[in-house]
Homo-oligomer: A and B are copies of this chain.
Amino acid sequence: MTSADKLLFILRLFSAEQPLWTVEQAAPVLNVSLSTAYRYFRSLVKAGLLDPVGGSGRYALGPAIIELDRNIRLSDPVLRAALPTMQWLVAQIDRAGSLLLCRLYQDKVMCIHQQHATDGPHRISYERGLPLPMFRGAASKAILAHLPPRHLRRLYDAHPAQIAEAGLGASWDEFKDRLRTIRRNGLCISRGELTPGTTGLSVPLFSPQRQVLGSLSIAHRGAMDEPSAARIGALLIAAGREIDAVIVAALGGTATSQGSASSSDPAHASGRI
């Protein structure tokens, strides 16, 4: 662990449970002297990533983080493209349902926006930043199913146990099969995988180059009968298409080839599996 890593590791110390740290507390955790810990903290404060609080030796996460998060919100093409459609969609579905916009980061899926049907009592947009498990829940699976083969192979080799446990197959071939089924459906449905008693529906979102960028999901409290599922699923798929179109328009896709292919199964554009 190099010293730059230690410096950055400091930020990870701050959690909702322990949002305040003193330099004396942090130094032993980092295995550095008090002098060095002070130097690190000073650099982080100078960058705005930490903020001395109250005036008595305690530090909290700083304003730069909020600013950087704003930069992401302003520049993230998926978020910008999805917002209007999400507002439309949330009006179409019944109450007791939430919309989730998730984004793929390397090997992580993260919720980057949440929109509640009944926005009175619920806290709005409050679960932005929640990391989701890669192999559980419709939101993650919808993304997973459309990753390029190389990426999938790497993921499978890294986490075969987790994949088997999540019911995604006990072998590479089974894994491929399950994902192909999800792709064929154009929609992923899960029941109670993340929250007991909650039904999740999710569709993938694509870049102009047909790379999967994230997913749009509906979390519905309670079970869902078939007609409802069909109706809401159709709405969700339509919403996904619309967002894809907006993304293409925004990023100037120069749509290389596949203008002909039916967009019901966009995966085959990114290579056979």
- A-side residues, CB < 8 A to B, are 2-5, 7-9, 11-12, 14-16, 19, 39-40, 43-44, 46-49, 51-52, 54-55, 60-75, 83, 103, 105-106, 108, 110, 112, 119, 123-131, 207, 211
A129 and B71 alpha carbons, distance in the complex (Å): 8
Identical subunits present: 2
Q: A51-B106, A83-B123, A124-B125 are in contact. Are A71 and B5 (CB under 8 A)?
A: no
Asked whether, in the complex, the Cβ of B71 is within 8 Å of the Cβ of A8, the reply is no
Q: Which residues on B sit within 8 Å (CB–CB) of A2?
A: 39, 43
Beyond contacts A12-B47, A67-B131: 14 other A-B pairs, Cβ-Cβ < 8 A, are A4-B7, A4-B43, A8-B44, A8-B47, A11-B47, A14-B71, A15-B71, A16-B71, A19-B75, A52-B106, A63-B105, A66-B72, A73-B126, A124-B124
Contact of A7 among B7, B61, B66, B70 (CB under 8 A): B7
In angstroms, how far is the closest chain B Cβ from the Cβ of A86? 11
Asked whether, in the complex, the Cβ of A19 is within 8 Å of the Cβ of B71, the reply is yes
Q: Which of A12, A72, A128 has the most CB of B within 10 A?
A: A72
A69 and B63 alpha carbons, distance in the complex (Å): 9
Asked whether, in the complex, the Cβ of A9 is within 8 Å of the Cβ of B47, the reply is yes
Q: Which residues on B sit within 8 Å (CB–CB) of A48?
A: 105
In angstroms, how far is the closest chain B Cβ from the Cβ of A79? 10
Nearest B-chain residue to A123, judged by Cβ: B83
Contact of A61 among B63, B68, B106, B129 (CB under 8 A): B68
Contact of A129 among B16, B39, B67, B126 (CB under 8 A): B67
Nearest B-chain residue to A110, judged by Cβ: B63
Nearest B-chain residue to A130, judged by Cβ: B70
Q: A8-B44, A83-B123, A125-B124 are in contact. Are A65 and B75 (CB under 8 A)?
A: no
Q: A65-B68, A72-B61, A110-B66 are in contact. Are A51 and B19 (CB under 8 A)?
A: no
Q: Which residues on B sit within 8 Å (CB–CB) of A14?
A: 68, 71
A59 and B226 alpha carbons, distance in the complex (Å): 43
In angstroms, how far is the closest chain B Cβ from the Cβ of A30? 13
Q: A8-B43, A106-B52 are in contact. Are A66 and B69 (CB under 8 A)?
A: yes
A58 and B124 alpha carbons, distance in the complex (Å): 32
A209 and B72 alpha carbons, distance in the complex (Å): 35
Nearest B-chain residue to A5, judged by Cβ: B43
Q: Which of A40, A73, A108, A211 has the most CB of B within 10 A?
A: A73
In angstroms, how far is the closest chain B Cβ from the Cβ of A2? 7
Asked whether, in the complex, the Cβ of B43 is within 8 Å of the Cβ of A128, the reply is no
A103 and B51 alpha carbons, distance in the complex (Å): 12
Nearest B-chain residue to A19, judged by Cβ: B75
